[in-house]
A and B are shown apart, each in its own frame.
Chain A
Amino acid sequence: MWSLLLIYGLINSAIILLQTIGFGLTFSISGIANFSYGALYILSGIITWLFLNYGFSLAISIVISILITSLGGFFIYWLVIYRIKGMPLSEVIITFSLGVAIIEFLRWKGFVTYEFNVSPILKGSIFIGNVPVDLQRVIIFFSAFLLLVALYLFSHYTKIGLALRGLSQNEQTALCFGINTELLSSVSVMLGAGICALSANLILPLGIISMDSGYDVLLVAIAVTVVGGLGSSTGLLLASLIFGYIQTATTIFLSSKWMMVIYLFSIIAVLMIKPSGILGRFKEIEERI
């Protein structure tokens, strides 16, 4: 029982981290809350499924789906968000309705039955101690780890990454140093969408592609970003660990329908008590009187 909790808690944390990191990245870099995130998640799964059905191999389908979704993020920025930037609520309303439009459109097109699933990269399972873990979950765990390392290296040692960090710290100053902030904001949305697509392709094989999971993913992303603290990557990691273990514990000891209740409760409670999150230091004065 306890080893089950330990191992699956860790894996669930990795899943949550993967689901969240794209949203958190975009939000912390450019301050854009991309509420169409859940829709992009579902969309990339559907794209992979479509290409698999056209007879492409899994690897190619995944790459194509990531590319298309990133491009989608890029265009969402320039066609929609760019025109209303600086009005956070309009951004939220517009990206949210975009997300709803995408998800409901897919639902209307009939992508709702159990046949819509993405096949896992590796089938089969291994035993860790006496707990059976399927290989897809192992892959998810290691790719979450690799993604973190890659993002660290990207943001600390490449020119674009450093510019992105500059943008996240202060937009005006970044502009003074000759950083094209508009372009980089669009890059941040694109990066978020790309990571979202990657996580979708890794995580969706665990179940079927259901449209409601689009809303759930958005909710998880918001929950973790908010609880962890906006703009804090350590907080993101910590919050995913907390939520991963809470999720596993509720599934083992209670029932899975309590999971969403706990998510929602924690978002509401944290936002009401400490809107900047566990580890967030920024914006404390701005958001509260």
Chain B
Amino acid sequence: MNTLNTLNTVNIAKRKERIDRAIKARCNDIYTLLSLKEISYVIAPKLCLILFIFIFPLLKAILGYYWERVFYITCLIAILAISWELLSYVGLVSLGQAFVFGTGAYISGIFNINFHIPVPFSILLASGFGALICTLILFPASKIKGIYFAMITLCIPMFFSKVIEATEIFGGTSGISGISPIGNYYVEMYFPALVLIGAFFCLRRLMSTDFGLLIIGIKDNEFSLMSSGINIYKIKFFVIFLSSALGCFSGACMCHYYQFVGISAFSLDYSIIPLACSILGGIDGFSGSLIGAFVVCPLSEMLRGFGTLRIVIYSVLLIMFILLVPEGIFSYISRKYHQIERWKEI
């Protein structure tokens, strides 16, 4: 038996073959859905996500307040990760998502404390104004590509935190405290959750439109788009604005949740975590970022007891994933869902 096995491996080489499931082939075109099974095959993953996000806040009595808090933070980080992903769609890989996050947090805090704007409106206003400010700062940098853009974005949040530290505006190092919370538990939980679901599905839909094709085209080859007579800077402006709005929303929600905003909002954590989410989940699609966030954030909460070792574990995970699983978790899962694998003799 043993010799046979060896013979098998030596003489008859095998390779793994991946074939689409029959149901996938049938469901590729939406008009051919015939049975309930096929419909559920198409809808199930999306429905699972939506149901999970809607039901989780209702389970407060069973799971306790702690996990609801983790869920809330996960939603916000997922939004931040999606905003990172959107920016990377136009070829701008940012190492400083903390800038967008911190801007949103500070503006919402200032609106709430100094102008006495009630909470949900301050979040929405902060998303708009913050996005405008971030776009004005990031847009000039968008002409620069690759590693240079990464360097700029790495420096911008550091710059702002040092400016706040040096000039002592906005409360300096002690930050702004006493920001009013959202109050109602259900509003607090469902507000970011709904925005997350909305942003996720809308952006997915956006990417399959003609305009989305242009966005993807920028990442692939800017020059060919320009030579087709398309103003890529208009598109880049729009994408940066959208991405900043999402990031600012996430920051604004976080500042009302903690009822505090300080220079920690510009800290490296908020740059690294969305990056980690996207890379863990897979960087070619919003689903990857979403799944990554739902893996990374609970993990990071569980690791909170380790202190700064948490960041070490993150970083090592990031390195391992880039080196060993560059496709990410999402590609793995979707492969298992859509395809069968079998060994084939060659």
Contact = CB atoms under 8 A, between A and B. Distances in A.
Contacts of B93: 89
Nearest to A112: B308
Interface string B114-132: 0000000000000000000
Contacts of A255: 166
A146 B130 CA distance: 50
A271 B166 contact: no
Given A101-B312, A272-B141, A289-B222, A261 B148 contact: no
Interface stretch (B17-25, B28-36, B153-161): B153-161
Contacts of B322: 84, 90, 93-94
Interface stretch (B66-74, B184-192, B313-321, B336-344): B313-321
Contacts of A92: 95, 147, 150
A175 B309 CA distance: 42
Contacts of B182: none
A286 B259 CA distance: 45
A222 B162 CA distance: 17
A219 B268 contact: no
A98 interface: yes
Interface string A266-289: 011001100100000000000111
Interface stretch (A40-48, A62-70, A103-111, A132-140): A103-111
A94 B318 contact: yes
B284 interface: no
A289 B143 contact: yes
B199 interface: no
B152 A268 contact: yes
Nearest to B232: A289
B163 A261 contact: yes
A94 B223 CA distance: 29
A275 B150 contact: no
Nearest to A89: B93
B155 A268 contact: yes
Interface residues of B, number: 42
A162 interface: no
Contacts of B307: 108
Contacts of A107: 308
A258 B167 CA distance: 9
A244 to B, nearest CB: 19
Given A257-B166, A265-B159, A289-B222, A272 B318 contact: no
Contacts of B154: 222
B305 interface: no
Contacts of A219: 155, 158
Interface in B215-266: 222-223, 226
Contact of B144 (A33, A260, A271): A271
B64 interface: no
A258 B144 contact: no
Contacts of B319: 80, 94, 97-98, 101
Given A108-B307, A108-B309, A275 B323 contact: no
Interface in A166-180: none
B312 A105 contact: yes
A203 B200 CA distance: 50
A88 B146 CA distance: 7
Contacts of A89: 93, 146-147, 150
A271 B150 contact: no
A268 to B, nearest CB: 5
Contacts of A267: 151-152, 155
Most buried by A among B155, B268, B316: B155
A8 interface: no
A49 interface: no
Contacts of A52: none
Contact of A94 (B147, B152, B162, B323): B323
B151 A222 contact: yes
A261 to B, nearest CB: 5
A33 B155 contact: no
A243 interface: no
B220 to A, nearest CB: 14
Contacts of B166: 255, 257-258, 261
Nearest to A91: B147
Nearest to B226: A289
A108 B308 contact: yes
B165 to A, nearest CB: 6
A104 B308 contact: yes
B183 interface: no
29 contacts: A80-B319, A83-B323, A88-B146, A88-B147, A90-B322, A92-B147, A92-B150, A93-B275, A93-B322, A94-B318, A98-B315, A98-B319, A100-B312, A100-B315, A101-B316, A104-B309, A104-B312, A107-B308, A108-B307, A219-B155, A255-B166, A261-B159, A264-B158, A271-B144, A272-B140, A272-B141, A272-B144, A272-B152, A287-B146
Given A222-B155, A268-B155, 4 more contacts: A89-B147, A94-B322, A219-B158, A272-B152
Interface of A: 33, 80, 83-84, 88-90, 92-94, 96-98, 100-101, 104-105, 107-108, 219, 222, 226, 255, 257-258, 260-261, 264-265, 267-268, 271-272, 275, 287-289
**Those 5 A-B pairs whose CB atoms lie nearest each other, nearest first:** A101-B315, A264-B159, A97-B315, A104-B311, A97-B318
